[in-house]
Amino acid sequence: MIEPVAHVTLHDYATDPTLPQKDGVNLAHENIGTLLRAANCDGFRVRFHDFNRLLRDEAYARKVLSHTRCVVSNVGPHAHYYFHLREKLGLDFRIVRDVRTAIWSSYLLQEHLCRPYLRPHDVLLVASHYTRGLYEKMFPHLRTLPTVRCYPLTVGFPPEVGRWQEPTGKKQGVVTLGYVGRLSEDKNFPDIIELLITLNRRHPGRYRLLACGDIHSPSCHPDKVCARLVAMLGTADSFDYLPSRGNAEIWALYRQFDVMVFPSTSNLETLGRVLIEASYAGVPVVCGEHAAAAELMPPSSLCRVHYGRNQSFSAHYDHSLGHVDIDDMVRAVTHPGLGASDCHLDYQQHPDRFIGLLIGEGIAACRMPETLELTPSQQSLIDAIEVTLPPALNDIDQASRSIAHLIPWFLGLQAKDSTEREQWLAKLRMLSGHPERTLRFIEKSAATRCDFTNVGGIDIELCHAADFYPAFTL
């Protein structure tokens, strides 16, 4: 029986349920799966596959990949394995890959390894103009190849959010500041605490903070936050913390926010999914003029960022690149003209844009790409960032040797029930240029499925096997 040709094939992505919080990368891949399941019909055939099996079973890989027109790399920063298989098996399908974090070792490794394989119809998906501008600086060859700003995240949004309703028992006149995301230093969560202190010193008891998310940095632990508030205000009753929750449950929180605060200056930032969510929920935002925020938010939302200059950073970690001006945030929060963004309206068109790209309607658009539109602040930041990478790969054989070397590592580190995994972990400990982080990875993977859906786990550790240690300065 002849295998029918599929328009698209992709991994059937499901986030490890034992992870404490789904980040934007996890949600992005799940959104794509949801979108393509709904689009799978007689006129548009979608076939899902098992990515791990694709790498360990060549017969399976040939069966899946020989009968498709397009592969969507829906597996985190591992698209290079699809390029390797296409070349090894002598096939001719398009590959659509993405970058979901900005200056981050594993996505930089993906682009480094993909370069010699790229063909004119292969597409790189980015979430924002900022991301495209940054990647075209780091990898100049991308300027002549198709890059499309497309992030179909709204497929996971509810039909409606509903109007904000004052919670029972809330004091009249109290303004609720909201925060959704990791409680971390790279997201500048400490800046929100300083904002809360400043506001309540000027207007005692009028402002409260409702924060929801995974505790990522020890300095951001709620106990430390409360101790800081007691020391500065005499009480911590202006702060409420909620552990991370499923994305479907997050909309009830938005209904409680008067203003959402997003002061991230992270090197990882490519969009700020919560900015689109807040726009959809009609919640005004106060944020730093950093990364994509400058293209998504109205001027009334944007606050100056004071970057730390002449510093060197490892791309192996998340970093706070500066601090958001507290006085600017105070003025924004208290300004009567602060309003919600409408940036969600643009992103609501992205599911159709994504499907069009896959069925071929987007090829012409790739030949005539969207104009790159950077704000002055974005251009200034991109100009200031200098990333140190290994010499560019121009030779497919060299890239293929590197990727073939990584495949046993990739599979071995996920083989949780195999006795061989201990051997891979022992080798990893010996190779690691960041042993403390590697130890945390090993400890965390003992309590999880330890698969590649834990972005920031296996993908980062594979950089040791590749001897890939990019750094950047600002």
Report the CATH number that the domain containing residue 264 is assigned in CATH: 3.40.50.2000
The pLDDT value recorded for residue 169 is: 42
How does strand 147-149 pair with strand 302-303? unpaired
To the question of pTM greater than 0.85 for the whole model, the response is yes
**CA pseudo-torsion sign 55, 56, 61, 64:** negative
Q: Is residue 315 part of a domain?
A: yes
Domain region containing 262: 175-342
Q: Is residue 97 part of a domain?
A: no
Quote the number of domains for the chain.
1
Q: Is residue 243 part of a domain?
A: yes
259/178 Cα distance (integer angstroms):
6
Q: Is residue 421 part of a domain?
A: no
Per-state percent for the chain, helix, strand, coil, to nearest 5: 45, 15, 40
Digit-by-digit pLDDT tens for the chain (474 residues) are 556 677 899 999 999 998 877 889 999 999 999 999 999 887 789 999 999 999 999 999 999 999 999 999 999 999 999 999 999 999 999 999 999 999 999 999 999 999 999 999 999 999 999 999 999 999 999 999 999 999 999 998 998 876 545 444 456 789 999 999 999 999 999 999 999 999 999 999 999 999 999 999 999 999 999 999 999 999 999 999 999 988 888 999 999 999 999 999 999 999 999 999 999 999 999 999 999 999 999 999 999 999 998 899 999 999 999 999 999 999 999 999 999 999 999 999 999 999 989 987 555 555 567 899 999 999 999 999 999 999 999 899 999 999 999 999 999 999 988 888 999 999 999 999 999 999 999 999 999 999 999 999 999 999 999 999 999 999
The pLDDT value recorded for residue 162 is: 60
| Residue length of the chain | 474
Reduced to 3 states, what is the DSSP secondary structure of residue 109?
helix
Question: Position of tokens 């560019």?
Answer: 392
Q: Is residue 77 part of a domain?
A: no
Q: Is residue 297 part of a domain?
A: yes
Query: Which ranges in 335-470 belong to alpha helices (H)?
Result: 344-347, 350-359, 362-367, 376-384, 396-414, 420-431, 435-445, 458-465
Largest CA distance in the chain: 76
How does strand 239-242 pair with strand 259-262? unpaired
Q: Six-digit token pair at 210?
A: 């409702």
- The dihedrals phi and psi of 68, each to the nearest 5 degrees, come to -140, 155
Q: Is residue 334 part of a domain?
A: yes
